[in-house]
Structure 1
């Protein structure tokens, strides 16, 4: 059983603290090989016994076995150089899924019922996508507030109302800052939504609504990998168009 399979199989056993440790492991997966269990515990601000309990819940024998599982995952993250024509072919399939098969009516209705839409992107590219969504919706009179970090979120939190929606954009769905915001929002009265590339991530499990957006990773000649996120813009455009149709703007 690999790393992802274990997280899925034993998910119901995990506490909030366990999920925070897993989020750290996923974000620093290549660094764990050089760490001891004590160093991992310190990095996660937990005790070594907390790490041991998590391993037991995941049915991992010891810290060395954890390293082995994560080493396997790192190996998977080093694919051969990408064939761009294959990537384009996949995007044709994704676009078909978005425009022909994916029903966005729930999310359009959610936007219609939303008074103020709060938007956050977990990285630089996601922040550009958030800005695109803000620009489109404000052009038809929707009130949108974009914030950029945890400090701004804390400032805005007392203003949240039941008819507001907090929407966070992320690819992997494992941003520690976004996870913390979603946990804080559980004590608030507004609704929460995430847009991520898969359903198997920590952010999706914490949000009230989830919209999954397929993306592709491409490996350059220098073996650097980056995410081609064109499908996020397709989804944003489709949401905007459907929203305008539903509200009679177009």
Structure 2
């Protein structure tokens, strides 16, 4: 299932500033806008129907009807705020796993397999914990994984980057200034880039060659709490898909 956030990230470099602003408006309330006509949505965005159709085509859609379908699909996995309930939270995890299972990991597994060295950076404390887990599970397969802790360390190690290496960045929002700064310094080296972020249009995903997304969920009790354990589920699924990939590749080489 293609989601609007993925299309915006995929075609970000082809979009003008004003077109990105229009798409940000649409992304802000996909559930409501999925019910709008083309005229109503164009009016909300202060553009003409012709301009709206042009934007649709720039992100790979043939018509406004295609956008309506995308909006409907996207709204079904949109982050929701609900009252805390054990059964509800269990249902969230089931839905998150179902969404992660729909993704094809083959291309990512190929890049991981081809990488002589994997460098990984987490933008915050929780993301650095995820980076540690990534490093732990892929060391098990014999991959060399080097964790980068900050910009200064990245400047030190980037002189060793090879084009076949992979630089992985983990960011919840995909908008952290330090993460963007590090990516902008890594890009000129030609190393391949993989982002792992929350499922939303974001700068970091747009800067990377490959993207993995997690549709986190928010539950509400006395305070809001975002369930980010789906990131760990993603790592597990990626790891098991990678094991299947290397088994298949090595069977062809025999």
Question: Which interval holds the TM-score relative to the shorter structure?
Answer: 0.5 to 0.7
Per the TM alignment, residue 80 of structure 1 is displaced from its structure 2 partner at its CA by 6.8
Listed one character per residue, the Cα deviations across residues 189-246 of structure 1 (whole Å, up to 9, x for unaligned) are 201110111240111111111111111123342x2x3321121111111111121222
Aligned to 1:227: 226
Q: Is the 8 A contact 2:82 2:218 kept in 1?
A: no
Superposed, 1:98-109 pairs within 5 Å as 98-99=100-101, 101-109=102-110
Aligned to 2:93: 91
Superposed, 1:1-250 pairs within 5 Å as 12-14=15-17, 81-99=83-101, 101-221=102-222, 223=223, 225-248=224-247
In 2, distance between residues paired with 1:220 and 1:108? 39
In 1, distance between residues paired with 2:16 and 2:103? 32
Per the TM alignment, residue 152 of structure 1 is displaced from its structure 2 partner at its CA by 0.9
Q: Is the 8 A contact 2:106 2:245 kept in 1?
A: no
In 2, distance between residues paired with 1:112 and 1:98? 21
Aligned length, in residue pairs: 182
Q: Is the 8 A contact 1:87 1:216 kept in 2?
A: no
Q: Is the 8 A contact 2:116 2:144 kept in 1?
A: yes
Q: What SS does the corresponding residue of 2:169 show, helix, strand or coil? A: strand
Q: Is the 8 A contact 2:199 2:216 kept in 1?
A: no
Structure 2 CA distance for partners of 1:211 and 1:131, relative to 1, 3 Å: same
Structure 2 CA distance for partners of 1:198 and 1:133, relative to 1, 3 Å: same
Structure 2 CA distance for partners of 1:152 and 1:105, relative to 1, 3 Å: same
In 1, distance between residues paired with 2:88 and 2:181? 37
Q: What SS does the corresponding residue of 1:144 show, helix, strand or coil? A: strand
Per the TM alignment, residue 14 of structure 1 is displaced from its structure 2 partner at its CA by 3.6
Per the TM alignment, residue 115 of structure 1 is displaced from its structure 2 partner at its CA by 0.9
Q: What SS does the corresponding residue of 1:162 show, helix, strand or coil? A: coil
In 1, distance between residues paired with 2:218 and 2:154? 30
Per the TM alignment, residue 186 of structure 1 is displaced from its structure 2 partner at its CA by 2.1
Q: What SS does the corresponding residue of 1:172 show, helix, strand or coil? A: coil
Per the TM alignment, residue 160 of structure 1 is displaced from its structure 2 partner at its CA by 0.8
Q: Is the 8 A contact 2:216 2:227 kept in 1?
A: yes
Higher relative CO (Cα under 8 Å, sequence separation at least 6) belongs to 2
Please list every run of 5 or more consecutive structure 2 residues that lacks an aligned counterpart in the other structure.
22-44, 47-78
Q: What SS does the corresponding residue of 2:188 show, helix, strand or coil? A: coil
TM-score (norm 1): 0.65
